[in-house]
Amino acid sequence: MTTENNVHLKFTDGTKTISVPAGTTILEAANAAGVRLVSQCTIGTCGTCVGRVACGDLVMPEGRVYSLRQDEMAAGHRLLCQSHAFAESEVELDYPAAMLDEYPVIVTAAKVGAVTWLGESVVELQLKLPKSVRFSFRAGQYVRMRVPGTDEWRSYSMASGERERKKLAFTIRVLPSGAMSDYLRTAAAVGDQIDLEGPIGGFGLADDPGPSLMIAGGTGLAPMLSMLETLQTARTDFPIRLVFGCTRAADLFHLDELDARRSFMRNLGVRVVVDEPGNELAPVPDVLTGNPVSVLTPEDVAHPQTSAYLCGPPAMLQGAEVRLLELGMPAERIHAEQFLPS
Ligand code: FES
């Protein structure tokens, strides 16, 4: 084995080459070379540092638990905070290198501006940032926030648009138990302080124009809402298809919001789907039965410039990726953000 190998980091806005010594991870070598990569935990659990090996040999040590699925590994995905280069390699990254300079990570104390229940189990949390703080993000990114009164941190994508820099909105599923769920259900009040770190992540709109296919499971709708604002501002004429699914009709939220967006974005088509319609389906007659994957059609990916954006639980993402590949979509046009257990 050579003592070091070149690794070509192919960002969406250009390629940077780093030399990676044996025993050094790609992330460590990139940091040493002054090349910034999206990362967070640095221990292989958050999944934010993922890249896809187009050629070469990047190896992650065996015998550890990682946030990558087997099929993702088989497709060449690697966590760059864990990977070592055993040959000259090329790694595709889903974001522009300029993004990390444009949207620097900050840590600040935000204040709760509003807590609004959007349905039986989803809350919209609005956070206000201090006037003195300069915060900007790319639609699709997320932040970490500390649950008040605890040392627990949780990650949530912004649902608000990237032009809104002082008031951020998040849609959060309230579960029967859990630090953030307990806080939202029993204690959250306007004016509470919430420590926040971000923006984080490389999920976001592709640079090249074309139709968009957005597939959201549950509160995976949040980054799609943010990206829709960007597309609306860009006044693109390309079709935008949004597929939004929940397990039960009672879990759905923001249907009025989606209707409103449809009325002022004529190129936006929305499909809402639930696995278990039950008797609750009556008040929402446009809802399909199934899941966000089962309602995909060849027409959704017919245009060769279509980019797909996926956000939701791991099983939905896996199913959607498999289906999109079956429908002929190239892997590099599929962009995914996965919910991981806290
Ligand atoms: Fe979290 Fe690599 S930085 S998995």
Amino acid at the residue 20: V
Whose CA is closest to 16, among 106, 95, 84? Answer: 95
Measure 244 CA to ligand 1 centroid, in angstroms: 28
Measure 205 CA to ligand 1 centroid, in angstroms: 21
Measure 275 CA to ligand 1 centroid, in angstroms: 32
**Same CATH fold, 212-338 and 4-99?**
no
User: 99 CB contacts (<8 Å, ≥6 apart)?
Assistant: 38, 138, 202, 204
pTM over 0.85: yes
> Is 41's C-beta closer than 6 angstroms to any atom of ligand 1?
yes
> Is 44's C-beta closer than 6 angstroms to any atom of ligand 1?
yes
| The pLDDT of residue 280 | 54
Measure 136 CA to ligand 1 centroid, in angstroms: 22
On average, the pLDDT of the chain sits at 91
Q: Pick from 41, 64, 83, 338 the residue to mutate for probing ligand 1's pocket: most ligand atoms within 8 Å of its CB.
A: 41
> Is 50's C-beta closer than 6 angstroms to any atom of ligand 1?
no
Question: For the domain bounded by 4-99, which CATH number is listed?
Answer: 3.10.20.30
Amino acid at the residue 221: L
Tell whether the model's pLDDT for residue 303 goes beyond 80: yes
Q: Pick from 28, 78, 81, 83 the residue to mutate for probing ligand 1's pocket: most ligand atoms within 8 Å of its CB.
A: 81
pLDDT in tens, 140-174: 999 999 999 999 999 999 999 998 889 999 999 99
Mean pLDDT computed over 180-193: 97
| The pLDDT of residue 239 | 96
| Cα 133–chain centre separation | 24
> Is 40's C-beta closer than 6 angstroms to any atom of ligand 1?
yes
> Is 49's C-beta closer than 6 angstroms to any atom of ligand 1?
yes
Measure 190 CA to ligand 1 centroid, in angstroms: 33
Q: Where are the domains of the chain?
A: 4-99, 104-200, 212-338
Question: For the domain bounded by 104-200, which CATH number is listed?
Answer: 2.40.30.10
Which SS3 state, helix, strand or coil, does residue 307 take? strand
| The pLDDT of residue 282 | 45
> Is 223's C-beta closer than 6 angstroms to any atom of ligand 1?
no
% of the chain beyond a pLDDT of 90:
72
Residue with tokens 């009025």: 256
Tell whether the model's pLDDT for residue 65 goes beyond 80: no
Q: Alpha helix (H) ranges present in 126-168?
A: none
**Phi, psi (deg, nearest 5) at residue 266:** -70, -20
> Is 194's C-beta closer than 6 angstroms to any atom of ligand 1?
no
> Is 296's C-beta closer than 6 angstroms to any atom of ligand 1?
no
Burial class for 301, CB neighbours closer than 10 Å (0-12, 13-18, 19+): buried
| The pLDDT of residue 153 | 94
Residue 331 near residue 324, CB atoms below 8 Å: no
| The pLDDT of residue 250 | 87
pLDDT in tens, 212-265: 999 999 999 999 999 999 999 888 889 999 999 999 888 999 999 999 999 989
User: What residues are paired with 10 via a beta bridge?
Assistant: 15, 92
% of the chain beyond a pLDDT of 70:
96
Closest atom, ligand 1, to C-alpha of 80: 2
| The pLDDT of residue 281 | 47
> Is 83's C-beta closer than 6 angstroms to any atom of ligand 1?
no
Task: Pull the structure tokens for residue 62.
Answer: 């065996």
CATH number for 212-338 (one of 3.40.50.12780, 1.10.1740.10, 1.20.140.10, 3.40.50.80): it is: 3.40.50.80
Measure 73 CA to ligand 1 centroid, in angstroms: 15
Mean pLDDT computed over 121-134: 95
**DSSP tally for the chain: helices H, then strands E:** 7, 19
